[in-house]
Structure 1
Amino acid sequence: MVEDVPEALLAARDDVARFLLSYKFAIDTVMAKVNILNEEFRYTHDHNPIEHVSSRLKTPASIMEKARRRGVPYDLNEIRGSILDIAGIRVTCSFVSDTYTIRDMLAGHEDIRVMEERDYVRSPKPNGYRSLHLLVETPVRMSDRTEDVPVEIQIRTIAMDFWASLEHKIYYKYGKSVPDGLLDEIREAAETAHRLDETMERLHGEVREQGDRARGPLPGPEELRKLPLADELLRALAERVNSERSD
């Protein structure tokens, strides 16, 4: 029963709830910006760099376990300053160049401040892991205060994401005792994924180049007047104007 719970514990529960809410709202804020970009590209551009977006908020148990491993005191202020991946967003792209396009667009928002960038795309980890990690800070405005809340954003290609998911499952199964032969295969799979990304990037560039060449330069005003469609539009407009004058 709630009546049997000490007041101090109830207060602590409320503090934790407010603590986590600020991170949830930070996720909502950044996700809204990503979703707007996604919608804009879907309807107004030839290519949408965003394939999939997901988010996650660490559970209290996960936060406390990480604090224990790092020797961080079980104090919310200490945790806020020491554990910076409580709120996380992952953006999956089609091509490597897309990762930097999204990075630049998010960093261009005036209420998103990039605190740290770790580029594992150009400088992969020893195990082959590739991804672009951004640690950003965004203001969260609540009823009684405004907090600058950190959010970790991971931007990676579909191939990188597939490899990372597989690698995570393997390490989860074996813990720290992954057989050496399997580790070698994981690294080789990472290189295979990287080569696939390079091939897809090259093909994407060739297709866009051929499309631009086929379309040619955009027509100017004089060329537009020569188009049959333009003549039809002008004729229809003239007929409408003459009709309105006669009325």
Structure 2
Amino acid sequence: MSPDQVEQFKRIKNDITRFMMMYKFALSELETKIEILNEEFHLLHDYNPIEHTKSRLKSPESILKKLYRKGGDITFSSIKSNIKDIAGLRITCSFISDIYWVSDMMKNQSDLRILEVKDYIKNPKPNGYQSLHLLVEVPVFMSDRQEHVCVEIQIRTIAMDFWASLEHKIFYKYNKSVPPQLLEELKEAAESASALDHKMERLHHEVEAIKAGSDDAGEEMKRLIIDNQQFTIPAALLELIGDGQILDND
């Protein structure tokens, strides 16, 4: 390989690296937002709506294969405009209501632009698949420019996620030629998972109602726990709140 070829290879490698870094940084931005929202919800409502998150980047090989299928040019601008799921973030929630809470919080982030919403919970796919999909545009600040990067977000419950994982494994095992009987059983399993989600949410609301009416509720209202530190709200502050006085933000 000549020196000119080596130099050209280095430039191409750097360009590819920078391109992939944009999507990695976009995922990092979203994961930080989700972490903040989850902690805020935990501090205010004493439970975590988000069980866990998982991010992934398509490999350059997978990107090219999809680009060939779409008939796009082999340029970075073509890849960016034709392939919207290079970066993906999966958010697993405790309850269905949490899914829509997370979605609303994403929509309320002023620096995010929601490009598309696909609600497969209210309108499940024919095979039974349920999840809420958001396509969002995330601003990423590089050393020499600002980029707006697309990330696909999938938000689902634990039961939905378990079903989707099982369905993926079955399709992989049968090389996408799944027997009709198994497909029917998968759809029935999706319906059972949906029924379980609704039942667990109802139980959750009942437990919360019982907790709110317990004798310990008043004492808990007087305590703050932030970053594993416990604070007691001063009596003077409680009196101000009881008198209906408003505290200045200053």
Q: Shared fold by TM > 0.5? A: yes
Amino acid at match of 1:63: I
Cα distance in 2 for partners of 1:2, 1:175 equals 44
Deviation at 1:47, TM superposition (A): 2.3
When residues 91 and 203 of structure 1 are mapped into structure 2, their CA distance, relative to the original with a 3 A threshold, is same
Q: Which amino acid aligns with 2:24?
A: K
**How far did residue 205 of structure 1 move?**
1.5
SS of 2:84's equivalent in the other structure is coil
Which ranges in structure 1 are unaligned for 5 or more consecutive residues? 220-229, 234-247
Cα deviation for residue 25 of structure 1 reads 0.7
Which residue is equivalent to 1:126?
126
* Secondary structure at 1:126 match in 2: coil
1:175 corresponds in structure 2 to 175
Residue-pair matches, total? 223
**Percent sequence identity over aligned pairs:** 54
The CA RMSD over aligned residues, in Å, is 2.5
**Hey, what does 1:56 align to over in structure 2?**
56
Whole-angstrom CA distance in 2 between matches of 1:157 and 1:60:
30
Q: CA deviation at 1:216?
A: 10
Helix, strand or coil at the partner of 2:130: coil
* Secondary structure of the corresponding residue to residue 144 of structure 2: coil
C-alpha contact 2:211 2:217 (8 A) present in aligned 1: no
Q: Distance in 2 between matches of 1:171 and 1:2?
A: 47
Higher fraction of helix:
1
d(CA) in 2 for partners of 1:217, 1:79: 55
Q: Note the 1:32-43 alignment, pairs <5 A.
A: 32-43=32-43
Q: Which residue of 1 aligns with 2:222?
A: none
Distance 1:2 1:26, change over 3 A: farther
Which residue does 1:72 correspond to in 2?
72
Pairing 1:78-97 to 2, within 5 Å after superposition: 78-97=78-97
The two structures have a TM-score, normalised by structure 1, of 0.83
* CA displacement at 1:215 relative to structure 2: 5.7
- Quick one: distance in 2 between partners of 1:216 and 1:123? 41
TM superposition shift of 1:2: 9.1
Alignment of 1:211-226 (within 5 A): 211-214=211-214
How far apart are residue 201 of structure 1 and its match? 1.1
Unaligned runs of 5+ in 2: 220-232, 237-250
User: Which of these two proteins has the greater Rg computed from alpha carbons?
Assistant: 1
